Amino acid sequence: MMTATATATTARTPIAATLLPPQRPAAGQSVVAQRIADTLRQLQEHVAITRRVLHAGDSLYQAGEDFGSLHVVHSGFFKTINQAADGREQVVGLHFKGDWLGFDGIAAGRYGCDAVALDTGEVWTLRYDALLAACARHAPLLGLLHEAMSREITRDRDSLLSLCTLSADARVADFLRYWAESMGQRGLRNDQITLRMTRAEIGNYLGMTLETVSRALSRLSRDKLIAFPERGRRDVSIPDVQALHAYVQRSLTPSTMLQ
């Protein structure tokens, strides 16, 4: 269980920084990318931030640890793992740039999940009490915080919905769609994604076994919805994200469809 070997620097920002006008939207950037840039900028200007670089496998925090800080992904990919008292273990979330981590610790006073880096990335860590103080001085921050928590709740419910209503193949397709879409929204290329998780991890996240994940990927590849460009199987090329979405939809109609 390696603990994060983190390079940490503290960025103190002026307490009552002047409120700058929102950054102009860069042409072609999605509203999500814009929102994320805006969030990071506002945090940087109004809250004391500790930056931390983590590498694949490093854990940002672990379940049971005392809660004191929230975290925002600045780059890289993270997963959160929920562990039941009896040892059951489940990947409950994937987190990309702009996503917050650690909300589950607020109520309990202790983190309820492990947060683990899937590759090299940087997180910004904010002390929760400092964040609240900053919110009191600069109200828009509170809006950002609440929206992030709200999105987290919405996202979790969408996961529940997919888990309950989709077949294994469709869940895998939906997983790829979600990942690609998240990349696209953040201005990254989404026609070719690198899965930073093993089949076992993906299966755990999607509520199926690693064999089923592998078979689903093979079927999707046979149907030309995805392709494996490299000899490695971690890179997935997605010629048409829309087609993946359509595939998920199609799998919902057991009735007389084409085919």
Partner DNA sequence: CGGCAATTTGACTAGGGTCAATGGCCGTGG
Partner DNA sequence: CCACGGCCATTGACCCTAGTCAAATTGCCG
Binding site for a copy of itself (CB under 8 A): 82, 84, 86-88, 90, 92-93, 103-108, 112-113, 132, 136, 139, 142, 146-154, 156-161, 163-165, 204, 207, 249, 252
Tokens 């004191």 -> residue: 68
**Residue 200 interacts with DNA (CB under 7 A)?**
yes
Output the six-digit token pair for 62: 């672990």
Q: Which one, 51 or 127, has the nearer CB to a copy of itself?
A: 127
Query: What, of DNA, a copy of itself, none, does residue 117 touch, CB below 5 to 8 Å by kind?
Result: none
104 to 133: interface string for DNA, x by CB under 7 A: ------------------------------
Q: Which stretch binds DNA (CB under 7 A): 76-84, 135-143, 163-171, 239-247?
A: 163-171
Query: What, of a copy of itself, DNA, none, does residue 139 touch, CB below 5 to 8 Å by kind?
Result: a copy of itself
Q: Is 8 exposed, middle or buried (0-12, 13-18, 19+ CB in 10 A)?
A: exposed
- Pick from 136, 169, 149, 151: which is nearest to 104 by CA? 149
Cα-based angle 32, 34, 35 (whole degrees, multiple of 5): 65
With beta carbons less than 8 A apart as the criterion, state whether 131 and 96 touch.
Answer: no
- Pick from 113, 118, 208: which is nearest to 162 by CA? 208
Among 66, 129, 211, 223, binds DNA (CB under 7 A): 211
